[in-house]
Structure 1
Amino acid sequence: MEFLILIVSLLFVLAGIAGSVLPALPGPPLSWIGLLILYTTPQMPFNYTTLGITFVITLLIVILDYVIPAQGTKRFGGSKYGIWGTNIGLIVGIFAPIPLGFIIGPFLGAFIGELIYDQNNSKRALKAATGSFIGFVASSFIKFVFCMILLGIYIHTVWKYWNVWF
């Protein structure tokens, strides 16, 4: 039974790593749930500190995942139209049937939003859309690094208690 729990928890952690670059999957929450499942094994002492700290960081990263692309748009001179376009494009891009829609969506959303704001300034719209893309890449990188840290915690914990299980 413990082996099954180990496999399921590892699958959650790995799905979280995949979700750090695929917006359709909530990466850090999936990885954190994998840790939570790992700590439910009967032979392992429940580590409230590790789970508490990683939970707070997971919540912070989930919030920042929506803020960072919009801030990228703003930092590159985008207006509120561009920020709204980024957020709408992110949501539409997730469900779009085109490959890599989750990357193209925020970029196009910011670009279209800026063109709605000022039709005569396509250079500014392109600059704001580039900021949106950079924000998306930065957000994905942060999620990926955090999910890899959670994988490291998983591996360390399994290694530490390996002889207890088998």
Structure 2
Amino acid sequence: MEILLWIIIIGLFITSFVALFFPVLPSVFAIWGGFIIYHFFLNSGELTTFFWISMVTLTAVLLLADVFTGSLAVKQFGGSKLGGRVAAISVIIGAFVYPPFGILALPFIAVIIVEYWQQEDFLSALRAAIGTLIGFLSGRLAEGIIQLIMIGWFFLIIWS
């Protein structure tokens, strides 16, 4: 039974990284699933209150980084609020259309269309679309790093 639980925990951790490219899957919630399975089914005394508070904090940072990097990059590259919203919606739709490429291509194309429609300047629209890509990729990078920290911290505690 313990081996099966470990397979599930590792599977959830792997799912969290797959979710970086398929945002429909739960990334940080998969990590939490692994933590909870370990705590309730393997060893309830090993993960301390400090660990749980730290994981809640890192989860909040992860979610905020994911939300703000895209809109910040769109604004930084001259895009509008509407362009940022369209990019976020397009990422979700793109995950279903042609994953994982849809989450890059669809927001890029959608932002070009929306920004060109608003500004009637193709170079400005292209710059905002590039900002969308940079924001999305930097958000994924930040999310991956935070996930590595969370999972690494977990293993550091249980192995020490």
Scaled to the shorter chain, the TM-score interval is 0.7 to 0.9
Q: What is the Cα deviation at residue 22 of structure 1?
A: 2.5
* Corresponding residue for residue 116 of structure 2: 115
2:157 paired residue number: 157
- In 2, distance between residues paired with 1:12 and 1:37? 10
- Structure 2 counterpart of 1:101, one-letter code: G
Q: CA RMSD in A?
A: 2.0
Task: Give the corresponding residue for 1:36.
Answer: 36
- Measured in 1, the distance between the counterparts of 2:100 and 2:8 equals 29
CA contact (8 A) 2:12 2:33 kept: yes
Is structure 2 residue 129 aligned with structure 1 residue 100? no
1:128 corresponding residue in structure 2: 128
Q: Distance between the aligned counterparts of 2:106 and 2:139, measured in 1? A: 15
In structure 2, distance between residues paired with 1:79 and 1:50: 39
**Structure ID, larger Rg:** 1
For structure 1, the residue ranges without an aligned partner over 5 or more in a row are 161-166
Q: TM-score, normalised by structure 2?
A: 0.87
How far has the Cα of 1:60 moved from its partner?
3.1
In the alignment, the residues of structure 1 paired with residue 15 and residue 99 of structure 2 have an alpha-carbon distance, to the nearest angstrom, of: 22
Q: Structure 1-normalised TM-score?
A: 0.84
* Structure 2: gaps (5+ residues): none
Per the alignment, in what secondary structure is the counterpart of residue 20 of structure 1?
coil
Mapped contact 1:13–1:31 kept (Cα < 8 A): yes
Q: Deviation at 1:97?
A: 3.5
Aligned length: 159
Determine what percentage of the aligned residue pairs are the same residue. Answer: 25
Is the contact between residue 112 and residue 128 of structure 2 (CA under 8 Å) also seen in structure 1? yes
After superposing on structure 2, the runs of 4+ consecutive aligned residues of structure 1 that deviate more than 6 Å are none
* Larger CA deviation: 11-20 vs 121-130: 11-20
